[in-house]
Chain A
């Protein structure tokens, strides 16, 4: 490989480069090259930075925003304890462990992608099992307990989290905390129930990120599977599946999602699954189109002639070639899923009041008495926008990196 596999700049209209064609030994290296190319673009970098911030804030939310203090020293006994720890749930710990392991692997760059995934999963499992067994279900938390104790002078000193309110802490011990605009106490104001908006927004990062990633994961998996079969077998199966796709696409997604949340209950998992289940059609179309094109190409015929099994032909020979548009689409569909969730929550049909979500906060901007609660409208709105924009930027960058025709023009 003497030539770098990208000689994009010499590709001018009406002028064929004299360069030898890029020597790409396997398409997968081209895919890796494209990914690298994607994340060198400023747009994609901004997107990644924002999403990383969100992930960090979301995963460490219990340590950043909690009504329970990080550390206290009791006057009476002199004992130092950390009330925050008692509020952690198994999922909090598992997520944090997975996050730390992932970041370490990303920075260390010693293991292959497959190894890394196995290690991340193993770490998650290792963290989940003991924490699940050890942590007993907690009683309904009494959020104001530590504030009252502190006011009563029971502690020598108290170290609080950055935001000293849990997302569902309605600050019942202080009167008149509902619908207050931003202040030193509540940086981003309070909700109609008196909850701290910033704290809720921090926890809402979790919903936003998981819903996008998991639903897209489901959609991509189904899409690749169905689309691959359609493209590979073509014929009657393709025809029937295509009709099904058309039917599914004819029902507006929001309506389908509304039906399911209204009639089957509101749950994060159900919502993720359903967004995934109705979002696979575009991926299937892409894969199908690619496969229909590829199945007529020589290298697939050669693979068939060699008597390779179907699985090997599809996954080793065809999929790496057809995955590009799906990857681009995945980024956009993460953005779409986040929008869908926030829209549902905004319409009051999303998650319950216990589960903070940006859309649900936005919904409070005009409700709860008279007037317009600008802080509730502005901050969650900006959060949704930035997150959606981040994924769109990454998707755009990926598309530019993948599309040689567009690349030529830049």
Chain B
């Protein structure tokens, strides 16, 4: 089993590399350059300030190198196995920097003589690049090192810190939503399969089909608009994950002189209710239909007939024989939901103003915060692959025909 898992994990590596490469190249090849995106076009307070900032960004992201090289540099940063980096005060870097500055100044003067100044000149000057640059990997110094996710440009904070704040928020929602959705889906799916063909089955089927077609953006807006709104019904909070005072609350609900105190736990659940509903109803509906189909397929199988011929009660036939076997395709499909959950988080966190991974995606993307966005994408990818891995393990456990090796 361990060997099997190890091999699976190794097989994930190319996927991660490929996916991050695509994401990186899309960002790097954008017609909107990262410099334009990060620096507002106007508002130069002191002359030359912009040029300094541009040079800083250029150095920070190694923009002189072609995009694939930039990608490799990023990969080297985040990888635990890689190369040491050139530091700012390494003599080679200092020499190169000095030479570069000298050459650039000369070029700038030359351009000015031809009447080219301002941003155009800045851009032209930046073409001159003398290696090594600080931050670039030293190919002669392979090392096992601490992965660096970099700093967020928009918040000037370590990316690692931001992700470790946002990830638990998103995971909390999903960890509540997914098992709930799956449980309801399995139960209703089994129920529908048992009552197949009846009016209730058809009704439930249509209802679930409709439910799975309901756009999250609409349901989210409607729920928050009608149920978390002073104008209508203020049953739920409109934003955030807990009340302002929640840190002062006791964990469990209790009755005090002042009446019922919801406590930290209930307060959190109260805040989570609407987002969880939004994240889970679609999955629930789809999965329920799937459970029904899968179970019906198994109920028609020969071995179910054998089980009935043995004299087993219908309930035993259903749960021990049919349901157990129909779990196998259900696991496979459950794994394919994972990318959808990410999209769900993005939308739901935007609607309910929750500072989770989805919000980070939107924010970092919108502000072209390269390192933040890449790391957020990477985290999402890894989470997804962990999900696939769990599904693989579940699959192996559920189906004795699949062997470990």
- Hey, which bits of chain A sit against chain B, CB under 8 A? 13-14, 43, 243-244, 246-256, 258-260, 262-265, 335, 339, 342-343, 346-347, 349, 359, 362, 365-366, 371-372, 374, 377-378, 380-382, 384-385, 388-389, 392-393, 396, 405-406, 408-410
Report the bound CA distance from A256 to B246 in whole Å: 37
Extra inter-chain contacts (16) besides given A252-B339, A258-B365, CB under 8 Å? A251-B22, A255-B343, A262-B365, A264-B30, A347-B362, A359-B217, A362-B221, A372-B225, A372-B226, A377-B218, A377-B221, A381-B218, A385-B215, A389-B210, A389-B213, A409-B197
Residues of B within 8 A of A381 (CB): 215, 217-219, 221-222
* Contact partners of B196 in chain A: CB under 8 A: 409
Tell me which of B12-20, B50-58, B76-84, B93-101 binds A.
B12-20
With A246-B15, A371-B229: A14-B305 Cβ-Cβ less than 8 Å: yes
Those of B353-405 within 8 Å (CB) of chain A:
361-362, 365-366, 368, 377, 380-381, 384-385
Residues of chain A within 8 A of B243, CB atoms compared: none
- The answer on a CB contact under 8 Å between B232 and A372 is yes
Question: What are 16 A-B contacts defined by CB distance under 8 Å?
Answer: A250-B339, A251-B22, A254-B347, A255-B343, A260-B26, A263-B368, A343-B215, A343-B217, A366-B224, A381-B217, A381-B219, A384-B215, A385-B213, A388-B215, A392-B209, A409-B197
Most B CB atoms within 10 A — which of A243, A248, A252, A388? A252
Question: Given that A251-B23, A255-B380, A377-B222 are contacting pairs, would A396 and B209 also be in contact in the complex, using a CB cutoff of 8 Å?
Answer: yes
Q: Which of B19, B26, B231 contacts A247 (CB 8 A)?
A: B19
Q: Please name the residue on chain B nearest to A406 by beta carbon.
A: B293
How far is B347's CA from A362's CA once the two chains are assembled, in angstroms?
13
Closest to B16 in A: A250
Contacts of A43 in B (CB 8 A): 206
Write out the residue numbers on chain B whose beta carbons fall within 8 Å of the beta carbon of A365.
221, 225
Complex-state Cα separation, A189 to B282, whole angstroms: 29
B31 located at the interface, meaning its Cβ lies under 8 Å from any Cβ of chain A in the complex: yes
CB-CB nearest in chain A for B342:
A252
B19 touching A251 by the CB < 8 A rule?
Answer: yes
B184 an interface residue at 8 Å Cβ cutoff? Answer: no
Give the residues in chain B near A249, CB-CB below 8 Å: 339
Contact of A409 among B14, B27, B216, B296 (CB under 8 A): B296
- In angstroms, Cα B277 to Cα A206, docked, is 31
Interface-centre pick from A13, A250, A359, A388 (highest chain B CB count, 10 A): A250
Q: In the complex, what residues of A have CB within 8 A of residue B206's CB?
A: 43
Assess the A366–B221 pair: CB atoms within 8 A: yes
CB neighbours of B218 from chain A (8 A): 362, 377, 380-382, 384-385
* B161 contact set on A, CB distance < 8 A: none
A119 to chain B: closest CB distance in Å?
Answer: 34
Residue of B nearest to A247 (CB): B18
Asked if B350 lies at the interface with its beta carbon under 8 angstroms from chain A, I say: yes
Contacts of A246 in B (CB 8 A): 15
A280 CA to B148 CA, complexed, in Å = 35
Contact A255 B197 (CB under 8 A): no
Contacts of B209 in A (CB 8 A): 389, 392-393, 396
Q: Contacts A252-B342, A343-B343 hold; do A258 and B362 have CB atoms under 8 A apart?
A: yes
Q: Is B212 part of the binding interface, using a Cβ–Cβ cutoff of 8 Å?
A: yes
Q: Give the complex CA separation of A372 and B238 in angstroms.
A: 11
Task: Pick the 6 closest A-B CB pairs, nearest first.
Answer: A381-B218, A263-B30, A247-B18, A372-B225, A254-B343, A389-B213
Whether the pair A366, B225 counts as a contact (CB closer than 8 A) is yes
Q: Are B361 and A392 in contact (CB under 8 A)?
A: no
Contact flag A263-B27 (CB < 8 Å), given A347-B362, A378-B222, A381-B221: yes
Contact B217 A346 (CB under 8 A): yes
Bound-state Cα–Cα, A248 to B21, Å: 11
> What is the bound-complex CA distance between A243 and B214, given in angstroms?
33
Q: Nearest Cβ in chain B — how far from A8, in angstroms? A: 14
Q: B residues within 8 A CB of A342? A: 215, 217
| Nearest Cβ on chain A to B94's Cβ, whole angstroms | 35
B45 interfacial by beta-carbon distance below 8 Å: no
A240 vs chain B, min Cβ distance (A): 11
Interchain nearest-CB distance for B340 vs A (Å): 8
| B173 CB–A CB distance under 8 Å | no
> B32 within 8 Å of A by Cβ?
yes
Check B22–A372 contact: CB distance below 8 A: no
Once the chains are docked, how many angstroms separate the CA of A214 from the CA of B380? 29
**CB of B300 closer than 8 Å to a CB of A:** yes
A396 to chain B: which residues have CB within 8 Å?
Answer: 209
Among B26, B213, B340, B377, the residue within 8 A (CB) of A263 is: B26
Bound complex: CA A250 to CA B16 (Å) = 8
* B318 in contact (CB, < 8 A): no
The complex places the Cα of A247 from the Cα of B22 at a distance, in Å, of 9
Find chain A residues with CB under 8 A from B293 CB: 406
Report the minimum CB–CB distance from B357 to chain A (whole Å): 11
> Which chain A residues border B300 with CB–CB below 8 Å?
13, 405, 408-409
Q: Does B279 contact A (CB under 8 A)?
A: no
Least distance between A245 CB and chain B CB atoms (Å): 10
Q: With A347-B362, A366-B225 in contact, do A254 and B346 touch (Cβ < 8 Å)?
A: yes
**Once the chains bind, are A252 and B222 in contact (CB under 8 Å)?**
no
- How far apart sit A331 and B313, CA to CA, in the bound complex (Å)? 41
Q: Do the beta carbons of B226 and A374 come within 8 Å of each other?
A: yes
Taken together as a complex, chains A and B put the C-alpha atoms of A12 and B228 apart, in Å, by 52
Q: Which residue of B lies closest to A264 (CB)?
A: B30
A384 to B188, CA, bound (A): 26
Closest to B218 in A: A381
CB contact between A371 and one of B210, B231, B340, B362 (< 8 Å): that residue: B231
| Segment 281-304 of B: residues with Cβ below 8 Å from A | 293, 296-297, 300
| Nearest CB on B from A342, distance (A) | 6
A253 touches B347 (CB 8 A): no
Structural contact, B347 and A258, CB atoms closer than 8 A: no
Distance A335 CA – B340 CA, assembled complex (angstroms)? 15
* In the bound complex, CA of A385 to CA of B214 (Å): 5
| Alpha-carbon distance between A258 and B27 when the two chains are bound, in angstroms | 11
Closest B residue to A251 by CB, please name it.
B19
Chain B residues within an 8 Å CB radius of A254: 342-343, 346-347
A243 touches B26 (CB 8 A): no
Cβ contact within 8 Å between B346 and A339:
no
In the assembled complex, which residues on chain A have CB atoms less than 8 Å from the CB atom of B221?
Answer: 362, 365-366, 377, 381
Interface string of B328-362 (1 = CB under 8 A from A): 00000000000110110011001000000000011
Nearest opposing residue in chain A for B32, CB measure: A263
Q: What are the residues of chain A within 8 A of B19 when measuring CB–CB?
A: 247, 250-251
User: Shortest Cβ distance from B293 into chain A, in angstroms?
Assistant: 7
